[in-house]
Structure 1
Amino acid sequence: MSKYISPLSLLALLVACGGPSKQEKAQAQADTPADTVATAAAPVDLPAPYATKSVTKRSKVIGWPAGRTPTVPAGFTISQYAANFNSPRWIYVTPNGDVLVAESNTVPTDTKKKIAAALDLDPSKSLKPTSANRITLLRDTNQDGKPDVRETFLSGLNQPLGMLVLGNYFYVANTDGVLRYAYTPGQTKITGPGQKILDLPAGGYNNHWTRNLLASADGAKIYISVGSGSNVGENGMDKEVRRANVLEINPDGTGEKIYAAGLRNPVGMAWAPGTNTLWTAVNERDELGDELVPDYLTSVQPGAFYGWPYAYFGTHEDPRRKGEAPDLVKKTVVPDVALGPHTASLGLAFYDQQRFPARYRSGAFIGQHGSWNRSSFSGYKVVFVPFAKGKPAGKMEDFVTGFVADEATKEVYGRPVGVTVLPDGAMLVADDAGNTVWRVSATGTGS
């Protein structure tokens, strides 16, 4: 008779991973004092590495009960914009106002994770056996805040995320490359063949398969975010070529160069209103303890280096890469705004409309997918960072919350990711675990 292994026991075996020895941790604590870093928005206290134990605490997604929604501040309402998706991760609004939703998710590549996905052993719903690999179009023809047209815009993709309309083309960023298709404004379906204009490195750690797209204001350049293939380069930096970067290309895929480097997992990208400054939300490294390392929002300086994997949040050397690249550590740029450790800050949108109250205008909204490497949950919400004159001008604050059902039982209703602003001034939030897109609108006059 064969021995039975419970699903919970098997899951524990599947997610278990080795870490630094006690001696290495103690030495790192002795060598690295706690520090405080002043950023544009607020000071950030950084403890020594391994000041607390690295903890695995995965959420259990239970879905949204009927009539339940996330929570928004007074003066706003939130409602279901559309539902019944298969992992709606990213949202893009076309120039004519159509809403495109990229449905895609992590697909396991190694045997252990494939087993976990096949047996539905990942309670956080991050691992699934397959990905929908499609883009769904939503159109609100009568402007009542609910789409009345829903079509499959494009299918047969490979873990798509970033979308872009530029000139007469529609671009999509698969995990392994950028494709473009002939496009006519208003069409509800792509029927012609695509052209792959750029290959991208694929595979790797956690959810670093995502590739986002952003065009320059004049349309002359396209920027592509490419996350690392590992936590801190533990598989060898030869496996990280062209990764942990924002890349720049011409619209036909030529002229590739590294726009900025050392960004572990940059996902959301946007231009601060009224400026030519690119900003990105970056998902930082794991396994240094509860409070390390803070995810961040930062302006992206051309040619700058942001530390990964050798340093974090400025010139704080990662003990796991100690002494390997002192010149790069020295030149590491301090990011602008700390967004909390292990929050999985991914989505980014600046509020460029007029319907929200004045204090929100030109500010940044960041979708935080939520932690797995912290003893207490962090993230699982959309946060807001006020801006003035193109720069952070206040502390981060909660905006859309209520995704955590009961931390004691690790239960969450959903997990927010992409955020975008509609032409009518409302904001959409993609909840990939809840398979829902939420709409946030202001109830006041907008003054």
Structure 2
Amino acid sequence: MRKSFFHLPLLGLGLLAACGGPSKEEKAEAAATTPADTVATATTAVKLPEPYASESVTKRSEVIGWPTGKTPVVPAGFSISEYAGDFESPRWAYVTPSGDVLIAEANTVPTNPKKKIAAALKLDPSKSLRPTSANRITLLRDTNKDGKPDVRETFLSNLNQPLGMLVLGNYFYVGNTDGVWRYPYQSGQTKITAKGEKILDLPAGGYNNHWTRNLLAGPDGKKIYVSVGSGSNVAEHGIENEKRRANILEINPDGSGEKIYAAGLRNPVGMDWAPSTGKLWTAVNERDELGDDLVPDYLTSVQEGAFYGWPYSYFGQHEDPRRKGERPDLVKKSIVPEVPLGPHTASLGLAIYDGQAFPTKYRGGAFIGQHGSWNRSSFTGYKVVFVPFQNGKPAGPMEDFVTGFVADEGKKQVYGRPVGITEMPDGSLLVADDAAGKVWRVVASS
């Protein structure tokens, strides 16, 4: 089995001493010795502030749900409507080759006593933490092609925090938090009845919402790519806790041949292929607690065997003061991502548009679902953004596409939180709103 050159450095390190939060003296030293910097990317120049230039702030949103008749906002020339509702944390959507829409319903589940009590008493207003998870996949089918599903069935249940879904050959694959499963599947079936098999073990759970495991087939169907988020914010529990994490893994369809395709990606949930180049891209949710404006989440192409910095550096070769001096060799190799998406936006969903229904400027570009901040004094994210591409490369800064999720920032209230973005066969887009329990559909106006 061929391994990337990051396999051994990341997995063979001895246990690092757990690091707590930085002291005032350490913050002052970091601010004094780490100058602000400007990084040139594929789309813009990004000015990065010093670490700890502002305090780390916790500001969690309260999800109040969508009032009757109210929807998110889209640009002129588009319309948005509710595709389906009454879900329990619909985090991700997948369209089967036969056109059925599958919705993965799962959420963060508490593991320690304090969080279990908080979840049971519904003390998390953002609805990220709940006492139980639905752990199911729901099938939606639009038989009369009117843009609204008229068949709804439980496709698969009793899962373990599912997210990624994939039909490949005569199998249906699902990415549970602790591994990849596959089931015999025939086109058009509305329910999985055959017994499945676990083809790949994965480290379960993770920092905050890093339990998600996305799946993406290679362009020729010969490989499957699996995203695995970090187990911590910045390796504060030791590097041994991060084995096979903060990576995109590559496996064969039977689960064999695992290798680390790319490393140092803190939480690379959304993945997609650029249709014009066949290059893999991912949206990455970056680290917390360095201040309001560090670190930008980002969209990046994924180079095989490359290292993207986590936990030792961020946005290229900017060394994280909390991991100072530990791996200068990996810091030196860290790649600068192409597109900054704003700090603490929780950029998770990704769909590179391959349809013809939207105007020309959107074709080949990237739509990103930003779940929204909790570690910033002012809200960021809580919207779907668009990054234009030309010839398979980013060709301009991101712009807002679906907005209106923030109800009243002064009261910390939001209507919902967008996550997964999925292109439909007719060229419309589905937006999974897990906090509000809805899936929205965006179409180009005729």
TM range (shorter): over 0.9
Q: CA deviation at 1:19?
A: 3.1
2-side partners of 1:18 and 1:126: how far apart?
Answer: 24
2-side partners of 1:30 and 1:61: how far apart?
Answer: 39
Partner SS for 1:228: coil
CA deviation string 1:409-431 (max 9, x = no partner) = 00000000000110111100000
1:303 to 302, 305, 314: 305
Partner residue of 1:59? 61
Partner SS for 2:235: coil
Specify whether residues 300 and 179 from structure 1 end up closer, same or farther in structure 2 by C-alpha distance, changes over 3 A only.
Answer: same
CA deviation string 1:398-446 (max 9, x = no partner) = 00000000000000000000001101111000000010000000003xx
Partner SS for 1:211: coil
Q: Does 1:383 align with 2:385?
A: yes
Partner residue of 2:12? none
Q: How many residues align?
A: 428
Partner residue of 1:200? 202
Q: CA deviation at 1:79?
A: 0.2
Conserved in 1, the CA contact under 8 Å of 2:206 and 2:229? no
2-side partners of 1:284 and 1:437: how far apart?
Answer: 25
Partner residue of 1:95? 97
Q: CA deviation at 1:174?
A: 0.1
Q: CA deviation at 1:268?
A: 0.2
2-side partners of 1:18 and 1:128: how far apart?
Answer: 27
2-side partners of 1:211 and 1:407: how far apart?
Answer: 31
* Percent identity between the two aligned chains: 80
Q: CA deviation at 1:110?
A: 1.1
User: Which amino acid counterpart does residue 342 of structure 2 have in structure 1?
Assistant: G
Conserved in 1, the CA contact under 8 Å of 2:433 and 2:439? yes
Partner residue of 1:323? 325
Partner SS for 1:33: coil
CA deviation string 1:304-340 (max 9, x = no partner) = 0000000000000000000000000000000010000
Runs of 4+ in structure 1 off by over 4 angstroms are none
Partner SS for 1:114: helix
Partner residue of 2:154? 152
1-side partners of 2:234 and 2:61: how far apart?
Answer: 23
Partner residue of 2:406? 404
Conserved in 1, the CA contact under 8 Å of 2:90 and 2:103? yes
1-side partners of 2:163 and 2:106: how far apart?
Answer: 7
Q: Does 1:440 align with 2:442?
A: yes
User: Which amino acid counterpart does residue 255 of structure 2 have in structure 1?
Assistant: G
Partner SS for 2:432: strand
Q: Does 1:348 align with 2:350?
A: yes
1:224 to 223, 226, 231: 226
2-side partners of 1:42 and 1:115: how far apart?
Answer: 45
TM-score by length of 2: 0.95
1:42 to 40, 44, 50: 44
User: Which amino acid counterpart does residue 353 of structure 1 have in structure 2?
Assistant: G
What do you get for the CA RMSD once the two structures are aligned? 0.9
User: Which amino acid counterpart does residue 438 of structure 1 have in structure 2?
Assistant: W
User: Which amino acid counterpart does residue 322 of structure 2 have in structure 1?
Assistant: R
Q: CA deviation at 1:44?
A: 0.8
Partner SS for 1:79: strand
Higher mean alpha-carbon deviation, 67-76 vs 106-115, is at 106-115
Partner SS for 1:330: helix
Q: CA deviation at 1:80?
A: 0.3
1-side partners of 2:222 and 2:33: how far apart?
Answer: 47
Q: Does 1:80 align with 2:82?
A: yes
Partner residue of 1:130? 132
Q: CA deviation at 1:204?
A: 2.4
CA deviation string 1:5-24 (max 9, x = no partner) = xxxxxxxxxxxx97321111
Higher mean alpha-carbon deviation, 183-192 vs 18-27, is at 18-27
User: Which amino acid counterpart does residue 335 of structure 1 have in structure 2?
Assistant: P
2-side partners of 1:316 and 1:18: how far apart?
Answer: 20
Within 5 Å, give how 1:174-193 maps onto structure 2.
174-193=176-195
Q: Does 1:170 align with 2:172?
A: yes
1-side partners of 2:114 and 2:303: how far apart?
Answer: 40
2-side partners of 1:151 and 1:18: how far apart?
Answer: 47
Q: Which segments of 5 or more consecutive residues in structure 1 lack a partner in the other structure?
A: 1-16
1-side partners of 2:427 and 2:220: how far apart?
Answer: 24
Within 5 Å, give how 1:238-317 maps onto structure 2.
238-317=240-319
Within 5 Å, give how 1:418-433 maps onto structure 2.
418-433=420-435
User: Which amino acid counterpart does residue 122 of structure 1 have in structure 2?
Assistant: D
2-side partners of 1:274 and 1:137: how far apart?
Answer: 30
2-side partners of 1:146 and 1:220: how far apart?
Answer: 34
Partner residue of 1:417? 419
Q: CA deviation at 1:115?
A: 1.0
1:338 to 340, 358, 361: 340
Higher mean alpha-carbon deviation, 262-271 vs 107-116, is at 107-116
Q: CA deviation at 1:69?
A: 0.3
Conserved in 1, the CA contact under 8 Å of 2:83 and 2:440? yes
2-side partners of 1:173 and 1:425: how far apart?
Answer: 25
TM-score by length of 1: 0.95
2-side partners of 1:249 and 1:276: how far apart?
Answer: 18
2-side partners of 1:279 and 1:312: how far apart?
Answer: 18
